[in-house]
Every structure is written in structure tokens, then in C-alpha cells.
Structure 1
Amino acid sequence: MADVKKRDFRILVINPGSTSTKVGVFEGERALMEKTVDHDAATLSTFAGVSEQMPYRMETIMSALAEAGIDPNTMDAFVGRGGGLMPVEGGTYEVNDTLLDHARRGANGVQHPAQLGPQIAHELAQAAGKPAFVVNPPDTDELCDLARMTGVKGVYRHVHLHALNLKETAIRHAASMGRRYEELDLVVCHVGGGISVSAHHLGRMVDGYDIVGGEGMMAPTRCGGLPVAEVLNLIDAGRTTTELRRMCMKTGGFVDLLGTSDAREVQSRAAAGDAAARRAWDALLYQLTKAICAMAGALGGHVDGILLGGGMAHSAELVDHVRQTCDWVAPVTAYPGEFELEAMAAGARRVLSGEERPKTYTGVPVFQGFDD
């Protein structure tokens, strides 16, 4: 076993986005290649669904690997972003027939390019005769029972968060303290085009906000939580449910208020005296503070650290604001940017080294409702 752990496994990771695919090749913890492969938007629009894009995306990815002199057959494992799956607990899952079927058809009802991750990883793995994995997929669900409850019978909370980056940020922070993720209570945030704020208790993400369903704070592209009565008024005034769902994910927040999704532009406009931009930016910071403190409450007030990741964590104003308003809860640490490619490789590496056992995807949601 010692020899296995010493090996620097070569792992290829695939993270498809709306008009590009991020591809990484890692040998041990060292990145041999990290590249964003762009796809022609007009070509993508000709496909009837996400999974139909598979041959086109595969062709462009293979061209990028060949250009970089990377032979997929030299890999020890392949990892794809796990879109389209039913809610599962966190961990590393080997791609099996059920997982592949759910990714192809988007079994969770959300059509997103991340569905292509397991499909591309599987095809490359089959050719190389090596395993394919998914690590902490978007529908990771580790909520405690009380976090699931609402005040309407039969209606339960579900969360959609940046689980991969949230958990990797927590794992890295724990290691920096000489501790294990499973030993700490943390409030972990991903602050980008969408904003995830989550409570982590001893290695499980026990609460958070449904950033696909219109919960939590507003973000550059998301409306955040709205009063239900006001949503009903919008519908009565002629807004369609399709429009409102888009506001939850793509056209809310700064996009609706200011006509831009660029947080840097909003900050610049606010600094230049634009009153609407200042109000929107300050409201985002205010709501972020509220969300962090709510998650601290979910942890019973015992918080070992507050962590800020994602692209907006590059903003000194945002980080300083969180420190000034939340440092009384716990120390605030910023990890600007994202670690999604590294996180996917790390999950596979833990399995290959024997540090962690791979989990089996059954397609059965973690939560089936309460018996009584």
C-alpha cells in the first residue's frame, strides 16, 4: 500500500461549461495542463440538447490534448463534472451504467453542460481501460433533517450549491491548520456569478441555500430570496413562471438591477458615484453577511472558520467587509478563485491511493421524505 500512495497518479479532468470546457491534466498535485477549450456558440445552438453536443465537444477536447502533447492513454483515471444526477451525499463516485444514463438524460430535471462531464470521462476511460469518476457533484445533498423542513406539508428544501469548490476549499483550509476536514465546523462561501453559503459540520455540508431555486442572497446573475407574495404579484402582473425561473439563475441580481453581471463593473460604477450601483453592491454585501451569520447559527454558534472562495473573493472590499462584520463569529480566510479542476483530481487521487473508498451511484435520492 505504501508504494501505491507514493505514486504520482496522472489524472485527466473535464469540466464543461456553457460555451467552453475546462480541461486539466494532473500528475500528483502538479498541473501538467490547464486549458479552457472554447466552443463555437453558433455550433452549440444547432444541437437539440446538451448530450447531443458530445461528439463536437469530444473532438475539440481531443484536439487540445494533442496540441499539448498529452496522450489520454497514459492516464490512471478520468474525472468529469457530474451534472444531471440525483441528490447524493458527497464523495467520489465511479461512473457506472446508472450514473451514465442519468447524466445523459439529466435525471434531476436540470439541463446543464456539466452532464457531459461523466460522458466524456467515461468514453476516454473506456478507450484507456482505466476508471472514470465524479467528485462531489452539483446535487450533493448532506442536509440535516431540520434544514429540509418548511412550513408547508410535503414541501421540503433542497439545495444546489458549488459543492465541489466549497468542499475543496474546506479540505485545503483544514490541511493548512494541520487538521482534517472531518474535525471542523466551518462556514464556507463561493462568491462568484452565483453565491453559495454553506454550513459544514465535521465533514458534511449540513445546510446551505438553494441558489438554483431562488434562495439566499442575491448574486450578479441571481435574484436571491424574494417574498412569496411579491412573486405572486409579479405573476398576476403578467410575468411568466419561465421568466421568474430565469431570474433565479441567469437574469436576476445585478443583471436585472443594473444590466450587467460583471461585479467589477458594479464596484467601479459605485466608486464613481453611481447611486444605483452603490445600493446594489452594498445590498449584496449586507445579504452575504446575513447569510454567513445564519449558517453560523445552523452550526450552533461553534465555528472554526469562515472561508471565502470564488472569483469575487479577489475583491478586497468584499473580503474586508466580511471580516469587519463577521470576524466576531470566527476568523475569516480568503481563498480567491476556484479549485474545481484540482478538487476533481484530488478526489480521484484519494481513491487511487486507497485513502478513500469510491462510492456507488444508485440513482436513489438521499432524501425520500419523512415517514410520519
Structure 2
Amino acid sequence: MSFKILAINPGSTSTKIAVYDDEKLIMNESILYSSEELSKYKSNMEQLEMRIESIKKLLLEKNIKIENLDAVVGRGGALPPVKSGAYKVNDYMIDTLKNRAVLDHASNLGAIIAKSIADSINVDSYIYDSISVDEMSDVARISGLKDIERKSMGHALNTRAMALKYAKDKNLDYKKLNLIVAHIGGGATVYLHEHGKMSDMISDDEGPFSPDRSGRVPCISLIEECYSSKFTEYDMKKKIRGKGGIYSYLKTNDLRKVEEMIDNDDKNAQIIYDAMIYQMAKAIGEMATVVDGKVDAIIITGGIAHSKKFTEKLTKKIKFISKVEIMPGENEMESLAFGALRVLKGEEEAREFK
């Protein structure tokens, strides 16, 4: 018996949807929203009905009958810390996302849209590997300042999917491996998968810089910027997430353009490019120390993993730690659908959010 699954991934200016028949992709589309259209809404949550209707309209246009679906899975939003894997969407999760989400994020709509569509055809809805998956060890939570605790929030969905795929492709047991998975895209996060558990991670505000995020910056200088009266709180947050990283140096967040600049003998672009690789290598090395250097493989994923120039330079710096596997792409739709599929096939049990 095969299962048809609708996967939904709301982003800031789009909603990605995909339909799978077991592991076979039937449809993969992005619904784009103009800035004028979104400006009507004061928050992401106010966009709920508009996004649901746009999804239903597209499915109708593509001749996808929702009554034939066996499950709907949405991107897990900014919930309080949760475990990895699947959660069945329930009323308490919906209430939390609507009224007590950790932050206003487009992904908060994923579970709510999934449940709305699933309830209309009387099937179950799920989230899988929410952005707030937190399996960090107690010692990993210590920041160095009593009032601030390290938190786990990042690319859990894609990094865990690639770790599971690596284990499956190599006919290995994921729960017996130590894997370092670096997701490198607009933001960059590095996870340690220690015997089936994401026991530590480096988030995009405490590790290497990326195309538009500053990563770890000197604390004293950052504090001085905050109190300089030149910037608002919004300005400062935008400086480190959105206008930081490569963008702050070269006024582009497109790594392909940076590589073109380097090809045209731009020395400054070369230094910034190499510095990003340098910092990413240091972060991967940092994760290796957590398991005393006993690393079975390092996986490089995310959009930037498509760059052969970038991955070759990075691999040269880290291959002494362990073998390096390049698994490019975001893989979010596949990760969502395959996670729900494992639940439907009885290979994994969905957790209850409470």
C-alpha cells in the first residue's frame, strides 16, 4: 500500500508545497507572495486564511484531489524546545503557535495549515523536526553567563534528514554513529549527531558567518554598537541576521556573485570568501572535540554545498578529522514528507505535544 502525503513549508515570502506518493515526488511548487500583498498583514499569523486558500487553489489547478491524501505534514514552527522526529498536530500545539510562539516566524503557520487541510478530509497532520528541536546535553547548554542559556534553534530538519540518509545509503545504524552535519545556506548551523541524538549544535548567531548573517562577533564591540545611539534594536538585529556576513562586506548575499568577483581578481572578495570557509572549518573542528575526535563522517549540506569551489576548499581543511560527504540542497520538502511516511508505515511513532 502506498501513501499520498502533502508537505507544506511556509516561508517569509512564499509557501512551498509538495505532494509525494510514498517516496515518489508528484508535485513540487512554490507560491510566491508580493510585498504589496503581504503588507496588508501585521503578522505572519494574520496571513493564515490567505495562505490556506492559495494552497487549495494551486492543488486544484494541478488536479491534486485533497480527499486522496493520507496525511498532511507542515514545517515545525518556533515552539518551545521539542524532541526530534514527528509530532502529531493537536489543539494545544495550535494554541501555542498562535498565542505563545517563541518568535513570530512564518514556519509557525506550517502546523496550523496542515491541520486545517487534514481535518477537512479526516486524516492526521504532523510536523517533523521543528526548528526548535532541542536535544542538547546539560553541559552544552552552559553559555558562560548565568542569565543566558545556549539554545538549540536551526536547520534541524535538513541536517537530521541528511544524517539519516547517509546512514541508510551506507547500510549503517544512525544510532551508532557520530556525525557532524553542517548546513550552509543563507544561514549556517552545525549539528553534532551523537548516537542518534543531536547533542550539541552551533547556531547561526554563535558560529561562522554566512552570506547574510554575522555569526559570532566580539561581544564588547557589539555592546558598544548597541549603545552608540546610532541604531535601533531592529537595526541591530538586522545587522546580524539579514545584513551581516558576506553582505556586510560585499553588498551581496549571493555566493555565486562572490565567486565571479574572485574570478575577476577581486582580492577583498577572496579574503571574505576564504574567511567564511576558515570559520566553518573551525566550527566543525569544535564539534569534533565533543566526541573526543571520534567522528564517523562529516556531512556538508545546504544550498552552498552545490559550490564545488567552496566544498573543495572546506574539505581540504577538515578531512583530517573524518571522511567528508557532500549532500547539497535544502531538502526540506523531502525531509518533511519522508518523516511523515515513516510514521504512516509504522517505522516511527509520532510524539504527543504537551
When normalised by structure 2's length, the TM-score is 0.97
Of the three residues 261, 264, 276, the one matched with 1:269 is 261
The alpha carbon displacement at 1:346 in A equals: 1.2
Q: Distance in 2 between matches of 1:329 and 1:106?
A: 42
Structure 1, residues 144-184: CA drift from partner, whole Å, max 9, x if none? 11110122223211122100000000000001110122121
What residue identity is the alignment partner of 1:202?
A: H
Q: Distance in 2 between matches of 1:243 and 1:299?
A: 38
The alpha carbon displacement at 1:106 in A equals: 5.1
Q: CA RMSD in A?
A: 1.2
Question: Would you say the 8 A contact 2:188–2:203 is kept in 1?
Answer: no
Give the alignment of 1:218-229 within 5 angstroms: 218-229=209-220
Are residues 1:17 and 2:17 paired?
no
Q: What is the aligned partner in structure 2 of residue 43 from structure 1?
A: 37
Q: Distance in 1 between matches of 2:39 and 2:187?
A: 24
Q: Distance in 2 between matches of 1:240 and 1:278?
A: 32
Are residues 1:147 and 2:140 paired?
yes
Runs (5+) with no aligned partner, structure 1: 1-6, 363-372
SS of residue paired to 1:90: coil
Runs (5+) with no aligned partner, structure 2: none
Question: Would you say the 8 A contact 1:83–1:106 is kept in 2?
Answer: no
The alpha carbon displacement at 1:137 in A equals: 0.2
Give the alignment of 1:37-116 within 5 angstroms: 37-105=31-99, 107-108=101-102, 110-116=103-109
SS of residue paired to 2:81: coil
Question: Would you say the 8 A contact 2:157–2:335 is kept in 1?
Answer: yes
Between the two proteins, the alignment pairs up a number of residues equal to: 353
The alpha carbon displacement at 1:125 in A equals: 0.6
Of the three residues 191, 202, 205, the one matched with 1:209 is 202
Say which is worse superposed, 97-106 or 71-80, in terms of deviation: 97-106
SS of residue paired to 2:18: strand
Q: Distance in 1 between matches of 2:23 and 2:177?
A: 24
Q: What is the aligned partner in structure 2 of residue 253 from structure 1?
A: 245
When normalised by structure 1's length, the TM-score is 0.92
Of the three residues 165, 169, 174, the one matched with 1:176 is 169
Question: Would you say the 8 A contact 1:84–1:106 is kept in 2?
Answer: no
What residue identity is the alignment partner of 1:14?
A: I
The alpha carbon displacement at 1:272 in A equals: 1.1
Question: Would you say the 8 A contact 1:106–1:115 is kept in 2?
Answer: no
Question: Would you say the 8 A contact 2:190–2:203 is kept in 1?
Answer: no
Structure 1, residues 48-92: CA drift from partner, whole Å, max 9, x if none? 111110111112111111111101111110001111311111110
What residue identity is the alignment partner of 2:221?
A: E
Of the three residues 333, 349, 352, the one matched with 1:357 is 349
C-alpha change, 1:235 and 1:40, in structure 2 (3 Å) is closer
The alpha carbon displacement at 1:41 in A equals: 2.1
SS of residue paired to 2:135: coil
SS of residue paired to 1:151: strand
Q: Distance in 2 between matches of 1:161 and 1:12?
A: 23
SS of residue paired to 1:193: coil
The alpha carbon displacement at 1:328 in A equals: 0.8
What residue identity is the alignment partner of 1:322?
A: L
The alpha carbon displacement at 1:17 in A equals: 0.8
Question: Would you say the 8 A contact 1:84–1:105 is kept in 2?
Answer: no
Are residues 1:188 and 2:181 paired?
yes
Percent pairwise identity = 35
What residue identity is the alignment partner of 1:66?
A: L
Of the three residues 285, 308, 314, the one matched with 2:300 is 308
Question: Would you say the 8 A contact 2:74–2:114 is kept in 1?
Answer: yes
Q: Distance in 2 between matches of 1:41 and 1:58?
A: 18
